[in-house]
Amino acid sequence: MFVDQVQVFVKAGDGGNGIVAFRREKYEPMGGPAGGDGGRGGDVIFEVDEGLNTLMDFRYQKHFKATRGENGMNKSMHGKNADPLVVPVPPGTTVKNADTGKVIADLIEHKQRAVIAKAGRGGRGNIHFSNARNRAPEIAENGEPGEELYVQLELKVLADVGLVGFPSVGKSTLLSVVSAAKPKIADYHFTTLNPNLGMVRTEDDRSFVIADLPGLIEGAHEGVGLGHQFLRHIERTRLIVHVVDMSAAEGRDPYEDYQTINQELEQYDERLMERTQLIVANKMDMPGAEEQLEQFKEHFDTSQKIFPISALTKSGLSELLYAIADTLEQIPKNTFETEQEDLQDERVIYRHEKDDESFRITRDPDGAYVLSGPQIERLFKMTDFNRDESVRRFARQMRHLGIDEALRKRGAEDGDTVRLLDFEFEFVE
C-alpha cells in the first residue's frame, strides 16, 4: 500500500531533575551545596532514508516519544543526557505542524536531518542557588518539559519527470514500455491509484526517473477525483510531460483536455506553469489521430514542439526520450531547494519582541481564576513543590511576571481560588 499522508504525535524527552544535596569533607566541616544538574532529554529527529518510499510504517506507529534525561546526583555530578530519537522517513517528506500548518522541515537528501521536537534542558541542582545570603539553599529545579506536538507528514514523490493528463490517455502504458515498471493497465478510468516510478535509460546512456501520476480531471484542485491526493507529487518534478489522447476516442477534444489539465495545475499552484512542459500526442496508431493532431497544432505557433507517439506500438519513443534527457540537462537539480532555504532563513532571524502572552487569566464557571500560558506553565512544571524554598521562589516569579497585580485588576480577593494546570492555590493579599 502506498501511503503519502499521515499525522503522528511526537514528544521530546523531558530534562532530568536537579537535586538538593550537601557535602561534608574531612577538611571542610561546614561543607556546602553539592546537588548536580539533571541531564538534557532526547530530541525527536527525522532523518531521510533513501531505502524508504512510503509512509506506510507510520500507519502502525503514530506516537514517538524520546527518553528523558537522567536526574542529577550528589557531589555536583551532572545527570546523563538522553540520546535523541531518530525516526527514518522517505526522501521527499514535508513535515508540518498539524495545528498551525507551518512547515517545520522539508527533507529531500539522503541522511538529511531535522529536529522536529526539541528536548527540555535539565533542571539545576541547589549548587546554582547558593549566594552570600543563603549558603545552604534547599532549592532545585525539575527538568524542563520537552516539546510535544502533532505533525502532518506529506510525501511528495521525487522524480525528474511527471506524466500528467486525463485518465486513460496512456500514461501507464508509456511508463511500462520505457522502463521496467509494471503499473496496472486496464480499459477503464483511474486504473492508477498510486504514483508509479520507473528508471529510464536512453541509448546514449543517460538516465532519469519518471513518475506516472494518477489521472486528473476537471476540479482536481478542489479534490474532485484523485486530484486532492496526488497533485502534490507534481511539485517535485523538474519536467512535466503532458500526455494527450489524440484519438479522441472518448468524444473529448484533445485541445480542451490540454487546457483543462493546465488550468487545474495553475489553480493548484501557479508556479507549476513556470515548469518546463513537453506535449506528447499519444495513440497516434488510432484512426483519425493524424487529423486530430493537425487541428491540435493549429492552436500553437510553430515553435511549440509536439511529440507524436504510440505507446502501444512504441513508435516515436526514442525521439521523445532524447528530448526529455536533453531538456533535463538544462534544468538544475536544485530546483526545489528554494523552499528549504527560505525555511532555514526564517529560523536564523531573531528579533526581540515583548512577550505579551506570558500568561492569560480566565474564569471558570465556579468563579475560580484560571492561569494559562507557555511561560507560567513551564515555570510551574520546573518547580519542586515538595520544598518550601522552591514554593517561595515560584511565588516570587509570579509576582515578577505581574500575575498578582493582574489578578487584583480582574477582581481577585483574599481567599479566592486560582487554578494553574491541575494545581489549585488560594489568593492571599
50-62 confidence digits (pLDDT tens): 888 778 888 888 9
What's the mean per-residue pLDDT of the chain?
A: 82
pLDDT at 236: 75
Nearest to 306 by CA among 218, 246, 257, 365: 246
Nearest to 254 by CA among 287, 225, 280: 280
Q: Are residues 323 and 196 in the same domain?
A: yes
DSSP strand pairing (207-212 vs 85-89): unpaired
- The three state secondary structure string of 42-90 is CCEEEEECCCCCCCHHHHCCCEEECCCCCCCECCCECCCCCCCEEEEEC
How many domains does the chain contain in total?
3
Q: Are residues 258 and 145 in the same domain?
A: no
pLDDT at 106: 87
| Domain housing 89 | 5-155
Q: Are residues 194 and 146 in the same domain?
A: no
Query: Taking 90 as the threshold, does the pLDDT of residue 341 lie above it?
Result: no
pTM for the model stands at 0.70
Whether the CB-CB separation of 168 and 187 falls below 8 Å is answered with yes
Query: Taking 70 as the threshold, does the pLDDT of residue 348 lie above it?
Result: no
Give binding residues as ranges: 165-172, 190-194, 212-215, 282-285, 310-312
CA 97 to CA 132: how far, in whole Å?
47
275-327 confidence digits (pLDDT tens): 888 999 998 988 888 999 999 999 988 888 899 999 888 899 999 999 999 99
Give binding residues for Mg(2+) as ranges: 172, 192
Q: What are phi and psi of 163, to 5 degrees?
A: -90, 125
Whether the CB-CB separation of 221 and 231 falls below 8 Å is answered with yes
Query: Taking 60 as the threshold, does the pLDDT of residue 228 lie above it?
Result: no
Q: Are residues 204 and 228 in the same domain?
A: yes
Is 414 within a domain? Answer: yes
pLDDT at 346: 45
pLDDT at 336: 54
Backbone conformation region of residue 294, classed left if phi is above 0, alpha if psi is from -120 to 50, else beta = alpha
Query: Taking 60 as the threshold, does the pLDDT of residue 338 lie above it?
Result: no
Q: Which of 87-101, 116-130, 189-203, 246-260 has the lowest mean pLDDT?
A: 189-203
Q: Are residues 170 and 318 in the same domain?
A: yes
Q: Indicate the residue among 106, 140, 155 that finishes a domain.
A: 155
Is 50 within a domain? Answer: yes
Is 245 within a domain? Answer: yes
Is 347 within a domain? Answer: no
Q: Are residues 183 and 265 in the same domain?
A: yes
Q: Residue 380 sits in a domain of what CATH number?
A: 3.30.300.350
Query: Taking 60 as the threshold, does the pLDDT of residue 350 lie above it?
Result: no
Is 176 within a domain? Answer: yes
Q: Residue 112 sits in a domain of what CATH number?
A: 2.70.210.12
Give binding residues for GTP as ranges: 165-172, 190-194, 212-215, 282-285, 310-312
Q: Are residues 178 and 121 in the same domain?
A: no
Q: Indicate the residue among 155, 187, 213 that finishes a domain.
A: 155
Percentage of the chain lying above the pLDDT 90 cut: 29
